[in-house]
Amino acid sequence: MEFPLSRDAGARFEYLAEAGSTNDVLVAHATGADAAAWPDLSVVVTDNQTRGRGRLGRTWLAPTGKSLAISVLLRPVHAGAPLPVDHFGWFPLLAGTAMTRAVREVVDAGLTVGPEPDEGRPVHEVTLKWPNDVLIDGYKVSGILSELLPDARGLVIGTGLNVSLDEHDLPTLTSTSLMLVTGSAPDPDAVLARYLTELRGLTGAFLAAGGDPVRSGLLAAVRDVCGTLGAPVRVQLPGGDDLVGVAIDLDRDGRLIVEDQANGELQAVAAGDVTHLRY
């Protein structure tokens, strides 16, 4: 696959016919003897990832040729110096926002095909589930896993995207694909190029503001696409406890603010497995 649009959107672009994990490949490039040849916004992509992984040790598998595994290298710099690592928590949300926008564009385009695009066609909701899943109508189409480089001067953002899986290919009952939603298989290059373009724009604004999520507009952008806000949720916290309540906002650190249904107190959640509840 040539990916001409995506090659123009990244600083360096490498497509692999097969990879165990694109994150592992890109981390090795970014930290190896040839690291200088892998600049900020370098990209490694495959449609056949054999050892993909997600958050909390989960595996991520998909049939060959029906999904994309995308890894992007970020070496964030502001005013000539590396961005402090305490700002890095925003990058998974930034990437999720970029992918949500890209998926929305694909879904909207799929709904405008034909002489009468609106007649009888469903309206689909594309949102970001905090902190790292993109959902269409509540079904997962994309997930994100970020990994810090060993020197803490950069990170690799890995993204899996279900492109043309049919109902028999889906890894879980809560998954979907772009093809299942739109009715036709989208051009993987066009989807990837849109994601990379959105990622580059959001990252550029964030770094220009010195990693300030408010001045850069990033906090507002995440709030705009985050379907978790306003929803009743159950958060499985890292220690094993459950927090049940309503997600009401994000703070300046990107943490999810949840109003505990047990006592009405506000709790800031930095990490956890979130389930949207339906009553």
pTM over 0.75: yes
Tokens of 215: 């001045």
Smallest CA-to-CA distance from 205 within 106, 99, 72, 90 is with 90
pLDDT lower than 50: segments of the chain = 56, 112-117
pLDDT score, position 115: 43
CB atoms within 10 A of CB 276: 16
Residue 190 and residue 155: Cα distance in Å, rounded? 25
The full set of domains in the chain, from first to last, is: 4-223 (3.30.930.10), 229-276 (2.30.30.100)
68's enclosing H/E stretch is strand 67-74
Of 102, 112, 69, 57, which Cα lies nearest the Cα of 202? 102
Whether 192 contacts 160, CB under 8 Å: no
Count the neighbouring beta carbons within 10 Å of the beta carbon of residue 38. Answer: 22
Please give the Cα distance from 99 to 226 (Å, whole number): 12
Q: Which residue has the tokens 């506000």?
A: 266
What is the C-alpha separation between 70 and 72, in angstroms, rounded? Answer: 7
- CA nearest neighbour of 41 among 83, 84, 76: 76
Q: At 269, give phi and psi (nearest 5°).
A: -105, 120
How far apart (Å, rounded) are the C-alpha atoms in residues 198 and 5? 13
What per-residue confidence (pLDDT) applies to 249?
97
**What pLDDT does 48 receive?**
95
The two structure tokens encoding residue 205: 């604004």
Q: Cα–Cα distances in Å, from 5 out to 53, 77, 93, 102? A: 27, 26, 24, 14
pLDDT confidence of residue 240: 84
Q: What is the pLDDT of residue 113?
A: 44
**Full DSSP string of 191-208:** HHHHHHHHHHHHHHHHHH
Give the model confidence (pLDDT) of 194-208 as tens digits: 999 999 999 999 999
